Each structure stands twice: as C-alpha cells, then as structure tokens.
Chain A
Amino acid sequence: MAAKQGLTIWNPTASGDRGGKIFLSILAVLAIAVPLLNQAVPASSALHLSPFGITLIGKYLCYGMLALAIDLIWGYCGILSLGHAAFFSLGGYAMGMYLMRQIGRRGVYGDPVLPDFMVFLNWKSLPWFWHGFDHFGFALLMVALAPGLLALVFGWFAFRSRVTGVYFSIITQALTYALMLSFFRNDMGFGGNNGFTDFKDILGFDLHSDTTHVVLLVVTVAALAASYLACRGIVESRAGRVMHAIRDAESRTRFLGYPVEAFKLWIFVFSAVIAGVAGALYVPQIGIINPSEFSPINSIEAVIWVAIGGRGTLYGAIAGAVVVNYAKTYLTGSFPEIWLYALGALFVIVPLFLPRGIIGLVSARGQHK
C-alpha cells in the first residue's frame, strides 16, 4: 500500500522548480495587469476588467491558497484533511468580526457597539470574545491564532493517539460538521445562519470601491506568493524530507527515531494558518461569511481541486483550484444541472485515470519530447 501511495509524485531534480517559477511569474503578471486593466483602461473598452471580474479572480486565488494548504499536508505528509474549510472559515469569521465592528453606527439599528444581529437578538452587551476585534492588528492575530489553535489542539489529540488515514479524514469531517452546527446557532454570537454581511469598510477604505478591491487583490496575490514560497521552503528543507518519509513509510520513520507526531502536528498547524489567512482574504472580497462555509462538502471539494491539479506539486493544487472553480462558475451559470454531474465525474475520473492530476499530464508530455 505504502509503495503505491508513494509514487514519485515530487521529484526535485527532474525539473528544478520550473512549475513554481512559471506560477510565480503568472502571479506577478496578475499583480500588474489587474490594476492596469481596471484603473487605466476606460470602462468602455473590451479590455476593461469589471469589479465582478476582480472579485472572481480574488476568490479563485483565495481558494488556491486553501488548496495550497491542503496539498502541503496531503501531498507531502500524507494527511488527508476533510475539514480544512473549517480553518478557512474560522479565519474568515475572525476577519468578518473586525469588519462587523467597523460598521459602527451605520448598521440598520445604528447601535455604536453591537452589530445588527445582536441588537436584533436583544443582546445588551458585546460577548467577551468580541472584544478587541475593533483593532485590525488584533483581528489579524486572531486570523492566524483561531485556526492555528484549533489545529494544534485537534491535531495534538489526533496524532498523539495515532489516528491516521481514513480515520483522520472522517474525524476532520466530523470536526467541520460540528463547527457548522455550532455556528448555525444564534446563541453562539456569530450571527446564526445569516453570518456576517453588509460590510462597509476596511481600515477606513470603502469596500465598495474598485480601488479597494484592486488593492485587496494585490494583497491576495502577495499572500499567495509568500505562502507558496514558505511551503516550497518547507518541503525542500530537511524537515520536508522527513515529511516525505512520513508519507511513504510512517512506522519506519518513527523507528528511525524521528518524532513523527511533532512533525505532523506542526505541519498541520502551519497548513491551518495558511487556510485561515486565505479565509480572511476571502471575506472582504466576497462580502459575506456564513456557517455554510463550514459544510463538509466544501472541504471535500477543496481536496478534489488538489487532486485534479496534481498533488505533491504545490503550484498544481493552486492551478486545480482555479480551473475547477472557473468551470464551476461557468457551469453553474450556464448549465446548473450539469455542474454536479461534472464535479462527480471529476471525483471519479481523476483518481482512476489522472493520479497525478493536470500537472502530471502536462509534465509527462513534456518529458516525452
């Protein structure tokens, strides 16, 4: 089993990091082209990028970052998490709480402190866990801390008792399911099933203006590039080698004296933090966060992005996320009936015929020439 799973998915000597360089160049082009096409090209021109287009690109990139986080642990450490959307959503909620506090008196009920839904629920004061979220810095800290701490506690429990393979997958699925149920409750203080929406501005910049969106996109591009480089750095470091070893032969690595649980735990926490940051970037661009983001299918969908892109390549996962979500946007718009068939077929076909995903297909062709 181990041998089959450990097909040489990643081979650093064969191509260097050519894919990574291409990927980073694309990001650089995006960071320059998007502001130009939106701000400099007049709205009448065919080349003009609409605010909707920017939002869409931003969304794909955030999903790409989530895929990157999953690929880091699945492709390189063999940990399949079916609950990564939970970390993504937690990061999103942390950012959402900051944005809710920024609304201030401009809410429907005009309460200076309480968000609308709390006024609506007749709450008299801000719950303790809402304090501090009026500071952007604190919110940023929580964006990383909330998913990171959850991953730390959960991972510590899970890895310590050697919950591996499909067991781990199912338990993570239960985790995100339990979180979804909790966040649906009004008593939790996170807006119940409506979640957070109607944001006004971030750091004083109007969230409805094009400029803000362009800036957010550039920030997203930068964050994606940074997390890509961080992940690349990790997988090519000595710790990365140990992770490969854990993926391919966990028991053997343990017998060689490596603290397998510690490695798994820290990589899991790091991955959760990346997912959280992705969620935090996602919320201001999309303008809403609600408990359905926690639903198990979101996490599983994110896993299929990675599988389709090609796991164990990092940039492949991001490419998969972009391609699948572009297909989703197109199909749900034009042929809503077809989308689930297509998604279902992807789940079936990719493991059967494309074990190395799109990237595998492309690079195999390249090697033939």
Chain B
Amino acid sequence: MKHYPSGGWQVLILLALWGPASLLAQSQKDTSFVSKLDALREASYSDKAVMAEQLSQTGHPSVRAVLTALLEDRLYYRNSDQKIFIAKVADADPLDLIEPLSLKGAGSAPADGFTKIGTNNGLRHTLKMTVAHFSLSSPDASVRMDAVREMMLSLDEPTVALLRERAAVETNSSVKKEIATGLALADLDGTDAKARLAAVGVLSHSVSHDVRNRLALLVDGEKDEQVRQAAVSALQTIDRWRTFYSDIETLFFGLSLGSVLVLIAIGLAITFGVMGVINMAHGELMMLGSYTTFAVQAVMPGHIGASIFVSIPAAFIVSGLMGILMERTIIRFLYGRPLETLLATFGVSLILQQLVRSIFSALNRSVITPDWMSGSLRINDALAITYNRLYIIIFTIIVFALIMLVLKRTRLGLDIRAVSQNRAMAKAMGIRTEWVDAMTFGLGAGIAGMAGVALSQLTNVGPNLGQSYIIDSFMVVVFGGVGNLWGSLIGGISMGIFNKLLEPYAGAVLAKIFVLVALILFIQIRPRGLFPKAGRAAEDK
C-alpha cells in the first residue's frame, strides 16, 4: 500500500477545506479514534482484528495511514508514555516518527525507547481486507482506483467478494471498469464455463498487459472449446488495440522529436531566409541556452519549478546577444560570400565550444527536471504520455505562433520581410537594413537559445550538445525549403515522425541513415525543398 501518503493527505486537505463547521465533529472523531488506537496497543492478535475494524468505522482521516503502518509493522508505542507513533521506515534506528492523529512529522528518536505493535499472518490478512475496504469506500476516486489495482494483484475469495460489493455501488466509470476487469479475471479461474465465457467477453475490452498474458494462458490451458475460441478472438482484439495504442505512442514520440527539430530549425530558417547566412554556430547558440538553464538553476536552487520560466527569457537574451555580437563583428563583413560565412561561423562554433569547456568543464552538466514536467500522463493501460515531451510540443507551438506574430504583426517583422524580399528597395525606402540584419540574426539566435532550454530537459547538457542536433536541423531546413517557416514546421514534424516510424524496424542508427538518404533523394525531386521561395530572392548567385 505504497499509495497511502498521497491518499491520506488528500483526505486531510479535503477535511481542512470544510473549515470550522466540521471542527466540532472532527474533535469528537479524534477522541474516539485515539481511544480505539490506544486499545490496540495491548490487545491480543484476535482482539486487534476487531479493534482495527472499529478503528476503520470511526472514519477518521488517519485510519488508512495507521492501518497500513500496522500491516507493514511500522506502528510503535513509546515506552515512556505509551503514546503511539507511526514510523516512516520499519526497524530503522533512529526511528523517523509520524504523529498518527495529524499525520505530521514528529522528529526522530532512538529505536530502543519504542516497542513495535506486532502482527501475525491471520491479523495481516484481516488488516489487508480492512484497509482495502476502507480505501474502496474513500470519497476520492483515484484512491479507490489504486485500491482496486492493488487488490487485482492478489485475487482471493474475500477480495473478490469485496470487489463485487463495491461494483454494485461504484459510480465512477473508470473505477467501475477496473473492478469489472478484476472480477472477470477472477471468474476465469472459476469452474463455470458460462461465467468464464462472459469474463472473456468483458476482458476483451481491456488493453492491459496483464490481462493479455492471462488470456494467453487461458488459450493454452482451456478445455471448453467455446471459451477457448472466445479467448483467442479476445486476444486478437486486445492485440489490435495494443498495436493501435503503440502506434499512437510512436506518433507522439515522432511528434515530440519533430517539434524539437522544428524549434531548432526555425532559427536557422530565419537567419538563412533573410540574410542567406548558413549559421554553423547555431547548435552552439542552442548549447548556450542549455547552459543558461543550468546557470539559472544554480542561482535559484530552491525554485526549480519556476526556474524554467526565468530560463526561457534568459536564454533568449544570452543567445540573442551572442548572435548580435557575431553579426556585428564577423558576419556583416561576409555578406554575399555564403561559403566563407559558413566557415567563419563554424570557427565561432569551435570557439564557443571551447569557451564552455573552459568555464563549465568538459563534463556533462545535469539540468534538473521540475516536478511538474516529470512523470507521465496515463491514458490507459497501454498508453502513457511523458509530460516533458508533451510540454515541449506545446512550447514549440507557442514559440512558432509568437514568431509568426512577430513577423506578421510587428514593425520589426515588417522590416525583416521587406529586407528579405528586396534589400535594395527596402534600403531605398528608409529601412535601416544593417539594424534589421542585426536584429534578425539576434532573433534567430535567441530562438536557438530557447530551443536549448527545451533540449536541456531531454538530453545531457555538454559542450557537444549543439553538434548532435545541428545536422538534423540543417536537413529540416533543406527539406522544408530555405527561409520558409511553414516549410520548417512541416519538414521538422514529418522528419521526426518518419524517423520514429522507422526506428522499430531498423534501429535508431539505421533509421537516421535512411532519413538522410531519403532526404538526399528527395532533393532530386524538389531541389529547393517542400516550399521553395518564389521570386527574385530564390535565384542563387
């Protein structure tokens, strides 16, 4: 029953929200709870079972925690004043104590001042049922769900009876479904062929791995031909659904990889689209963003969850300024010489890598993932979506929308578009093209920095971070059509999905090679990418 702390706390919070009105009732509950608890101390094993039952009937929010503690041999009393405590870990020394009434920490004390309240097999069995019963009647559906899942691991007669009892009154549909699955699993062991047939019918709607395995066992051992046939077809249904969900998962992985590629490629697309500059240091600007995330976390270690929101603008500014510096000191002297620009920016990338190595050492730095980004969203037994990938997809959408907004709705965007369409004409109309160049490059670099923040949540932050993604992102830009944001979006997403679709068949490395080869072939058909730029700017040389 490892779920008890969260459940207990949620109940407690719920009660706290009730406020003063329930205060009186609460104190009465406390008194009866404490008296029952005290009785537990000296009672015999058989009496303890009765006490536990009575304890659970008080309906006190701490019941679950206390009974679970008893079940796990973590309930102690203090020898000096006979007061009962829950230990966080059994048989530790010193004991980490929890006050049973409030469930608040009560410090730690040497173990020899305490005596464990013992249990035996029979009592543990009863306790288990009591805890399960108590959890099943919890007002919180997620607590009930956990209880059902826990009970399904060891289905015996009393458990089944308990589940059957609950099934009749359960209102939450997903808990109800879970109970039905549990009961059906139990029915499979029964002697009645009809009941087994019905159970197979119920189970065919599940997608759980355990159910699938159980059915496969049934197919092997079943005597009744009709049941066996039903099980075979149920197995097929389950497998079909599981394949479907795993396809969705692959699609999701592809989408998240694709959005990372998009995030990286947008910045490249902007710098190339407007200025015809292939920025080989783009990956290193991204790396700067990742290191900024690391630095921000080091500055505010107490607020990891919030640090991300500081890191995003910080990374934008750091990388953006570096981009402007690059543009002003190097790139502006090389306009119109794309091959030389390529070499010079490559030189910058080497310098930035070594700079980071000198400052932060060559070792990888670990950026902490905030709590709200870790874990995964469980859709059903066959499909879970990790939060960090989900947030990166959302982040990409936001960044993309913002850039579109900047380009289409702001003065700077207007200038950028004017310069990219016809530099000479824009200059003649009074646009400060030099300033626009610097800002555009800064914008592209800043976006690379933000991509770096996202990447820091996915991979190790090290001096080579930029290099591992840069070739892929160049491919995206070439695939989508240089200087076209929509092209980069579609190109990145489709490359990500294509990659992940191939991976199960070909392995990660081979999939990557296939993508590169496919791209080289694609260039044959559309040498200027999916969405070629139209007009004068498209002419090279």
Q: Which residues of A contact B (CB under 8 A)?
A: 1-2, 4-5, 74, 80, 154, 157-158, 160-167, 169-171, 173-175, 177-178, 181-182, 184-185, 249-251, 296, 300, 303-304, 307, 337, 340-341, 343-352, 355
Contact = CB atoms under 8 A, between A and B. Distances in A.
B524 A157 contact: yes
A342 B485 CA distance: 36
A344 to B, nearest CB: 3
Nearest to A346: B347
Given A341-B354, A352-B334, A166 B342 contact: yes
A343 B523 contact: no
Interface string B504-541: 00000110110011011101110100000000000011
Given A165-B540, A173-B471, A344 B520 contact: no
B278 A347 contact: no
Contacts of B478: 167, 170-171
22 contacts: A4-B337, A80-B339, A157-B520, A157-B523, A157-B524, A158-B523, A166-B342, A170-B278, A171-B478, A174-B516, A178-B517, A181-B512, A181-B513, A341-B351, A344-B348, A344-B350, A344-B351, A346-B347, A351-B334, A351-B340, A352-B330, A352-B334
Contacts of A347: 343-344, 346-348, 350
Contacts of B340: 307, 351, 355
Contacts of A350: 343
B527 A348 contact: no
Most buried by A among B333, B344, B525: B344
A173 B474 CA distance: 10
B349 interface: yes
A105 B332 CA distance: 61
B201 interface: no
A154 B333 CA distance: 33
Contacts, number: 128
Given A166-B339, A174-B520, A351 B344 contact: yes
A74 B340 CA distance: 12
Contacts of A165: 338-339, 540-541
Contacts of A173: 471, 474
B521 A157 contact: yes
A4 B336 CA distance: 8
Contact size range, B = 35 or more
Contacts of A164: 540
Contact of B474 (A174, A182, A185, A355): A174
A157 B510 CA distance: 22
A170 B339 CA distance: 11
B509 A184 contact: yes
A164 B538 CA distance: 13
Contacts of A181: 509, 512-513
A345 B333 CA distance: 16
Given A2-B541, A161-B527, A296-B471, A345 B351 contact: yes
A160 to B, nearest CB: 7
A163 B513 contact: no
Contacts of B521: 157
Given A174-B520, A344-B349, A304 B343 contact: yes
Contact of A345 (B337, B347, B516, B520): B347
Interface in B347-390: 347-351, 353-354, 357-358
Given A1-B336, A166-B338, A173-B474, A340 B350 contact: yes
B283 to A, nearest CB: 11
Contacts of B350: 340-341, 343-344, 347
B231 interface: no
Contacts of B344: 347-348, 351-352
A360 B477 CA distance: 35
Given A5-B339, A165-B541, A355-B340, 16 more contacts: A158-B520, A160-B524, A165-B339, A169-B339, A177-B471, A177-B516, A178-B512, A181-B513, A182-B509, A182-B513, A343-B347, A344-B347, A344-B348, A344-B351, A345-B351, A347-B343
A178 B516 contact: yes
A348 B333 CA distance: 11
Nearest to B529: A167
Contact of B524 (A161, A185, A344): A161
A249 B541 CA distance: 8
Contacts of B333: 352
Nearest to A79: B339
Interface of B: 278, 330, 333-334, 336-344, 346-351, 353-354, 357-358, 471, 474-475, 478, 509-510, 512-513, 516-517, 519-521, 523-525, 527, 540-541
Contacts of A4: 336-337
Contacts of B346: 300, 347
A158 B527 CA distance: 9
A332 to B, nearest CB: 12
A250 B334 CA distance: 21
Contacts of A300: 343, 346
A22 B343 CA distance: 29
Nearest to B272: A166
Contact of A169 (B337, B342, B347, B513): B342
B479 to A, nearest CB: 11
Nearest to A5: B337
B354 to A, nearest CB: 4
B424 to A, nearest CB: 14
Contacts of A340: 350-351, 353-354, 357
Nearest to B474: A170
A368 B95 CA distance: 89
A69 to B, nearest CB: 17
Nearest to A179: B513
Contacts of A162: 527
A154 B541 CA distance: 23
Contacts of B338: 165-166
Contacts of A307: 340, 343
A163 B527 contact: yes
B509 A185 contact: yes
B330 A348 contact: yes
A166 B278 contact: yes
A124 B517 CA distance: 30
A151 to B, nearest CB: 14
A250 B475 contact: no
Contacts of A5: 337, 339
Nearest to A248: B541
A250 B541 contact: yes
A254 to B, nearest CB: 12
A164 B482 CA distance: 13
Contacts of A2: 541
Most A-side CB within 10 Å, residue of B330, B346, B517? B346
Shortest 9 CB-CB distances between A and B: which pairs? A347-B347, A344-B350, A344-B351, A351-B340, A340-B354, A348-B347, A178-B516, A344-B347, A161-B527
Nearest to B524: A161
A250 B539 CA distance: 12
A159 to B, nearest CB: 11
A163 B479 CA distance: 13
Nearest to B477: A170
B347 A178 contact: no
Contacts of B347: 304, 343-349
A175 B520 contact: yes
